[in-house]
């Protein structure tokens, strides 16, 4: 099960972990940005030079080809069952690194040091690791928990503002599936201008919400599917727009998904429309919009058919009866999904 350690300075905690592994068996996985901006922050933990594996940036590289490169790298550098892989990066790195570690020689130890807001509150937590298949997100994967997640908001100071805001979509999602109290804590926050001390509290609260769902359902066979709220539509939009060459971040797609799935919550459970519109306006204020046309909806719907939650050839959603009251495994008609996308564009006008 996930163990999260929150600290502004994680060097001491990292030192305690790495001293139990042979120095020549410690590997650090980073992308081009985290190797440049984040590795210097943790380098003080090492009194030797760890083996750093650097990957290209971008979700398009979260695939089996990159995983194969990493397996071969580990093999060529004599990694074995006593090795440790340190995943230093955002969700791309923690998903990919966790998958590679969980499958190399049937599994080696790994830790996550998430460096984006999205990864700190969501992607690094829960033991779900994976790669994309033909640009469909996370089709190949495994369940294996890191030894620990070392979480420090210090890394967030290295992020472009767009990345920080995008990650806040997962904070909003966690608040909505948790309670009115959690939503009220953040509903007046401007994610573009967050005080980093306040952000530390947000990260701990939001990560704690995700962990509570994970503990209740470790292998996602029931209530843990609540964490997919906003993601059925969000993942499909992310895949569709990426195929068209549009630069969209995961959190930006999830933000659209939250609005659309709140609309579906109103259709299925009569989720309060005043609350729906207030939440939708909040999201629309801080997250960017993307051009879509009605003619695109059919292709987006087809992508939804590949969602892992689907059963009996029906697309399944996690929807809200009210804030903090979520029902998983809900079926919606295609026409309602199309209307939900229309609602998003009405809110953005």
| Residues taking part in catalysis | 106, 128, 170, 210, 220, 224, 228, 231, 235, 250
> 82 and 105 in contact (C-beta within 8 Å)?
no
Would you state the structure tokens that stand for residue 303, as one six-digit string? 């992508």
3-state secondary structure the chain: CCCEEECCCCHHHHHHHHCCCCHHHEEEEEEHHHHHHCHHHHHHHCCCCCEEEEECCCHHHCEHHHHHHHHHHHHHCCCCCCCEEEEEECHHHHHHHHHHHHHHHHCCEEEEEECCHHHHHHHCCCCEEEEEECCEEEEEEEECCCCCEEECHHHHHHCCHHHHHHHHHHHHHHHHHHCHHHHHHHCCCCCCCCCHHHHHHHHHHHHHHHHHHHHHCCCCCCHHHHHHCCHHHHHHHHHHHHHCCCCCCHHHHHHHHHHHHHHHHHHHHCCCHHHHHHHHHHHHHHCCCCCCCHHHHHHHHHHHCCCCCCECCECEEEEEEECCEEEEEEECCHHHHHHHHHHHHHHHC
The answer to whether 146 and 2 are in contact (CB under 8 A) is: yes
């Amino acid at each position: 099960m996930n163990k999260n350690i929150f600290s502004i300075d994680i060097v001491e905690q990292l030192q305690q972990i790495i001293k139990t592994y042979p120095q020549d068996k410690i590997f650090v996985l980073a992308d081009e940005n985290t190797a440049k901006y984040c590795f210097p922050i943790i380098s003080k933990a090492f009194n030797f030079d760890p083996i750093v594996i650097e990957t290209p940036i971008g979700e398009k590289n979260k695939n089996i080809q990159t995983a194969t490169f990493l397996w071969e790298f580990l093999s060529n550098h004599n990694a074995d069952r006593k090795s440790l892989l340190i995943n230093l990066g955002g969700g791309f790195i923690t998903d990919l690194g966790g998958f590679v570690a969980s499958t190399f020689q049937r599994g080696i130890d790994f830790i996550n040091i998430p460096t984006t807001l999205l990864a700190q509150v969501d992607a690094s937590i829960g033991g779900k690791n994976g790669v994309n298949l033909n640009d469909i997100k996370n089709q190949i994967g495994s369940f294996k928990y890191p030894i620990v997640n070392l979480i420090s908001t210090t890394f967030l100071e290295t992020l472009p503002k767009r990345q920080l805001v995008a990650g806040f979509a997962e904070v909003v999602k966690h608040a909505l599936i948790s309670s009115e109290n959690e939503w009220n804590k953040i509903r007046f926050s401007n994610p573009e201008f967050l005080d980093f001390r306040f952000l530390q509290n947000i990260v701990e609260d939001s990560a704690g919400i995700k962990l509570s769902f994970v503990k209740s359902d470790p292998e996602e066979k029931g209530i843990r599917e609540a964490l997919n709220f906003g993601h059925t539509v969000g993942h499909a939009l992310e895949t569709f727009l990426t195929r068209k060459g549009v630069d969209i971040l995961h959190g930006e797609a999830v933000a659209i998904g939250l609005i659309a799935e709140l609309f579906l919550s109103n259709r299925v459970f009569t989720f309060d429309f005043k609350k729906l519109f207030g939440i939708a306006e909040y999201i629309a204020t801080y997250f960017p919009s993307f051009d879509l046309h009605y003619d695109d909806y059919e292709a987006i719907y087809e992508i939804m058919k590949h969602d892992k939650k689907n059963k009996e050839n029906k697309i399944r959603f996690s929807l809200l009866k009210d804030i903090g009251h979520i029902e998983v495994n809900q079926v919606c008609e295609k026409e309602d999904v199309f209307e939900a996308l229309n609602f998003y564009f009405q809110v953005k006008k």
